[in-house]
């Protein structure tokens, strides 16, 4: 979502907005994305509280926060918005992560139980009315933000560095044609964040491309869930309902639970 095109207010309260910007580092021909994504994470907490979703304060929850911040930076790096869906399970983690990034700036995600010895990561991308494209890559154990960086390196073949701080200050840098990361590739996260935010703030070093707003929300509601159930074959619906008077359905994108009467 471009700055100035903000989502509508809900229940009289404005959404918590994370702000990102894209710049071109002129002398080095590098794309630089910077963002303050603490509000995005706070928005997830507010969303979970609003819909009765238990807040995950374990390592799983912190990993999801880092994935959402990294996914937001990755989405902002595009000149044209797309729908992205990240799915990751690192070996030994015992949990799987999902994060969606939509063209209007919407970010949502959830964690779920997974087989502890499973290691898999893939991204589903869709641009406008185009086809859904799925790419698989090798996740980085323990850090989903590093796995997002690895996607660009392994799948897109774009030299990339991405960093997210404990306070969810983020930055991503990519080599444009003719550019190279050079010493940036070996920098620690804090050093990289300091350097890239300084470059973005300097009018003589970087050309401002655009500002983008991201926020936490999910498109699910009872109407969407009902349509999903109605779209199932008759036999599947009968098996699903059995003799129940109410069906409890959990949104796979955000973890919100719906009680659907028969």
Q: How many residues does the chain have?
A: 262
E-strand stretches of 118-203: 120-126, 133-137, 160-164, 169-175
Per-residue pLDDT band at 2 (split at 50, 70, 90): very low
- More confident: 78 or 114: 78
Whole-prediction pTM value? 0.89
| Strand 83-89 with 169-175, pairing | unpaired
- For the chain, list the domains and their CATH numbers: 17-216 (3.55.30.10), 222-261 (no CATH)
E-strand stretches of 67-205: 83-89, 95-101, 106-113, 120-126, 133-137, 160-164, 169-175
Predicted local confidence at residue 10, as pLDDT: 45
- What mean pLDDT is predicted for residues 172-196? 96
In eight-state DSSP terms, residue 148 is: H
Query: What is the rounded distance in angstroms from the CA atom of residue 248 to the CA atom of residue 250?
Result: 7
Residue of 72, 77, 103 whose CA lies nearest to 175 = 77
- More confident: 24 or 223: 24
Q: Output the average pLDDT for the chain.
A: 89
- More confident: 127 or 61: 127
Q: ∠ CA 167-212-4 to the nearest 5 degrees?
A: 120
Predicted local confidence at residue 198, as pLDDT: 98
Predicted local confidence at residue 212, as pLDDT: 96
Per-residue pLDDT band at 5 (split at 50, 70, 90): very low
Residue of 68, 64, 69 whose CA lies nearest to 89 = 64
- What mean pLDDT is predicted for residues 215-229? 90
- What mean pLDDT is predicted for residues 39-58? 90
Please report how the helices 59-76 and 144-151 are oriented relative to each other, as an axis angle in degrees rounded to 10. 30
Q: Does the pLDDT at position 1 exceed 50?
A: no
Predicted local confidence at residue 78, as pLDDT: 95
- What mean pLDDT is predicted for residues 161-176? 97
The region of weakest confidence among 21-30, 91-100, 143-152, 164-173 is 91-100
The region of weakest confidence among 8-17, 97-106, 183-192, 231-240 is 8-17
Predicted local confidence at residue 178, as pLDDT: 92
Predicted local confidence at residue 89, as pLDDT: 87
Predicted local confidence at residue 3, as pLDDT: 41
Q: Does the pLDDT at position 155 exceed 70?
A: yes
Predicted local confidence at residue 9, as pLDDT: 43
Predicted local confidence at residue 185, as pLDDT: 95
223 Cβ partners below 8 Å, 6+ apart?
A: none
């Amino acid at each position: 979502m471009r700055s100035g095109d903000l989502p509508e207010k809900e229940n009289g309260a404005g959404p918590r907005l994370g702000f990102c910007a894209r710049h071109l580092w002129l002398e080095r021909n590098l794309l630089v994305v910077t963002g303050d994504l603490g509000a995005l994470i706070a928005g997830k907490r507010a969303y979970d509280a609003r819909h009765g979703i238990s807040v995950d304060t374990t390592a799983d929850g912190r990993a999801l926060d880092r994935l959402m911040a990294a996914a937001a930076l990755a989405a902002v790096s595009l000149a044209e918005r797309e729908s992205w869906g990240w799915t990751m399970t690192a070996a030994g983690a015992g949990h799987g992560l999902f994060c969606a990034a939509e063209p209007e700036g919407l970010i949502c995600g959830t964690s779920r139980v997974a087989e502890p010895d499973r290691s898999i990561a893939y991204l589903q991308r869709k641009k406008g009315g185009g086809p859904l494209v799925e790419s698989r890559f090798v996740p980085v154990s323990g850090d989903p933000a590093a796995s997002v960086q690895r996607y660009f390196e392994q799948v897109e073949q774009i030299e990339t560095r991405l960093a997210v701080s404990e306070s969810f200050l983020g930055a991503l840098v990519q080599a444009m044609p003719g550019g190279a990361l050079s010493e940036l590739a070996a920098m620690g996260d804090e050093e990289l964040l300091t350097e890239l935010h300084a470059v973005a703030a300097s009018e003589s070093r970087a050309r401002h491309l655009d500002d983008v707003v991201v926020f936490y929300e999910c498109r699910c509601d009872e109407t969407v869930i009902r349509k999903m159930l109605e779209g199932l074959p008759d036999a599947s619906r009968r098996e699903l309902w059995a003799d129940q008077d109410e069906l409890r359905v959990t949104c796979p994108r955000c973890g919100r639970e719906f009680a659907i009467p028969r």
